[in-house]
Copies of this chain bind each other. A is one copy, B any other.
Amino acid sequence: MPNPSLLILSGDGIGPEVMAEVRKVIGWYGAKRDLVFDVSEDLVGGAAYDAHGTPLHDDTMTRAQEVDAVLLGAVGGPKYDDLDFSVKPERGLLRLRKEMDLFANLRPAQCFDALADFSSLKRDVVAGLDIMIVRELTSGIYFGEPRGIIEDGNERVGINTQRYTESEIDRAARSAFELARKRRNKVCSMEKANVMESGILWREIVQKVHDEDYPDVELSHMYADNGAMQLVRAPKQFDVIVTDNLFGDILSDCAAMLTGSLGMLPSASLGAPMANGRPKALYEPVHGSAPDIAGQGKANPIACILSFAMALRYSFDQGAEADRLEAAVEQVLADGLRTADLLGEEGATPVSTSGMGDAIVAAL
């Protein structure tokens, strides 16, 4: 069997810094656990635009389709704010998601006990929080046609289209139910079926998939506005949340912020199984490129390292090794090591980006 292959796309801002720490972790698995990865690197986002005039070169796209998993850092920055829509850094990421058909975006919102006080919410509301948001990632208003800015009479009109087929909803729902079975067996589906027909179809298909194939999972439905409220009011009522691309974007960021430590949160974007049985997959931290702190050794590499842990679990069937890596992260946190985003407590030991990476490798 060939070594599993990884394509690293560090991207912009703090992307390269945090990814450098992931490389240390990958190195450790090769040296100590005989888990050797074939690693290649390429550009995405603003970095790709600077080099090639496009946020994702076709060769990079081809390579992403071939590897077992893509690890992405972050894209974007003020330097690219005035670029045309079609070549903005985000388009590179959106193209990867779409062409790899990564329909299931898994966004855990977990509150680390050692960090619960960083939340703007009261400790008892968030301590122990462990939600998994499954966001549909390849359809909906992000990709629907028609779209654009058109002339209509004597003014312009901005248009986007929300469009969901039964099968798109079906496969997102299945991902959510499968995950729930390995967790607390509860799924809450969110839409605006009281206002949007696409939400009516969403609700109907999620219910159908449930009734036919997952009757053992507890299913509820909630309007997305109420979902936002309930996330703020009592987030621990949720186990798995499944929702569409746009609601998922907003609700998962809301959920992420509840935990108080954005620098800790990973994500996985999964597609259909490839010939070797592994799903098409891209792993990335939830945080952005944070251009304001880039290059200063202030970035927290944990979200990116935990994204690699998700890769171990979902792409390489190494659940025990993923657990090991997650335990190492909890260990360094329990030891009081903190990057700049997590300073403020008594007795914490400040560390740089690379100091944190080294400590995690040592804890492994």
Query: Which A positions have Cβ atoms within 8 angstroms of B?
Result: 76, 85, 88, 90, 94, 120-122, 125, 141-142, 144, 147-149, 152, 155-167, 192, 194-202, 224-226, 228-229, 231-234, 246-247, 249-254, 256-258, 262
Contacts and interface: CB of A to CB of B under 8 A. Distances in A.
Contact of A197 (B149, B152, B201): B149
Copies in the complex: 2
9 contacts: A85-B197, A120-B233, A121-B232, A142-B196, A157-B201, A158-B163, A228-B254, A250-B250, A250-B251
A153 to B, nearest CB: 9
Contacts of A232: 120-121, 232, 254, 257-258
A159 B198 contact: yes
Contact of A162 (B122, B160, B166, B234): B160
A175 to B, nearest CB: 19
A157 B152 CA distance: 27
Nearest to A124: B120
Contact of A160 (B122, B198, B251, B257): B198
Interface centre among A224, A252, A257, A262 (most CB of B within 10 A): A257
A90 B196 CA distance: 11
A192 B162 CA distance: 14
B163 A159 contact: yes
Contact of A158 (B197, B233, B254): B197
Contacts of A224: 249-250
